[in-house]
Amino acid sequence: MYCHHRTTECQLLTSVATIQRMGRWEPDSRGRLEQAALSLFAERGFDDTTVAEIAARAGLTERTFFRYFADKREVLFWGAGALQELLVSAVASAPDSAPPIQAVGAALVGAGTLLQDRRDGARQRQSVIAASSELHERELIKLASLASALAGALRERGCTAPAASLAAEAAIAVFKVAVERWVNEGNQQDLPELIRASLAELRDVTAGRW
């Protein structure tokens, strides 16, 4: 069973590598604006930071800012669409023999591999969101949307609606827990490793081993 699971994961990681569009993060104009915003949010707080200040810190214009982001909140959430596309495509490309939780779990590991080099930015982002009830609510909405998209991808694979929803919601819970551990200052484990560990803990809980 374990070998079959790792084989499935390897196949999915290969699929993720061929379809992913996120690439390795580069400090282009969008990246410079993101860095500037996160620094200012940490220094002054989200509410007290303006778009003009973000653009000035990045050495760019407000017009350039709005070319990439609808508002300053989107600096924190712009990657959600790309992540959803990546995960849904990976699930759709999973081997036919992969059970639902394995399909979404391996897709999460693939996404974690791509996000791994952004730990510092993720820590800053998490801190900003945790300090704002508005941003926290927006984060929950984004996660719910991601779970819904994953459930849809599983239904396309022939999974029944209740099972698809359960697997998708469980996968998002795994991802959320793993990311929270990953951004913890005292944790040096890689995100893919933490996702695998959270998946293993989920299997233990459902098997009555806790």
Domain assignments of the chain as residue spans, ordered by start: 9-21+77-206
- 175 band by pLDDT with thresholds 50, 70 and 90: very high
How large is the average pLDDT for residues 127-140?
94
In this predicted structure, what is the pLDDT of residue 3? 40
What does the alpha-carbon distance between residue 87 and residue 159 come to, in Å, rounded to a whole number? 16
Rounded to the nearest 10 degrees, how much is the dihedral formed by the CA atoms of 192, 197, 199, 200?
140
Question: Encoding tokens for residue 185?
Answer: 């200052």
107 touches 90 (CB < 8 A): yes
In this predicted structure, what is the pLDDT of residue 186? 86
Q: Any residues with CB less than 8 A from the CB of 108 and at least 6 apart, and which? A: 87, 171, 174, 175, 178, 195, 199
In this predicted structure, what is the pLDDT of residue 27? 54
In this predicted structure, what is the pLDDT of residue 205? 86
Amino acid 181 reads R
3-class SS of residue 77? helix
- 70 band by pLDDT with thresholds 50, 70 and 90: very high
Q: Which CATH architecture has domain 9-21+77-206?
A: Orthogonal Bundle (1.10)
- Is pLDDT at 78 greater than 80 in this prediction? yes
Counting Cα atoms < 13 Å in the Cβ hemisphere of 102 gives 19
- 185 band by pLDDT with thresholds 50, 70 and 90: confident
Question: In this predicted model, which residue has the larger pLDDT, 112 or 209?
Answer: 112
3-class SS of residue 110? helix
Q: Which of 48-52, 114-118, 163-167 has the lowest mean pLDDT?
A: 114-118
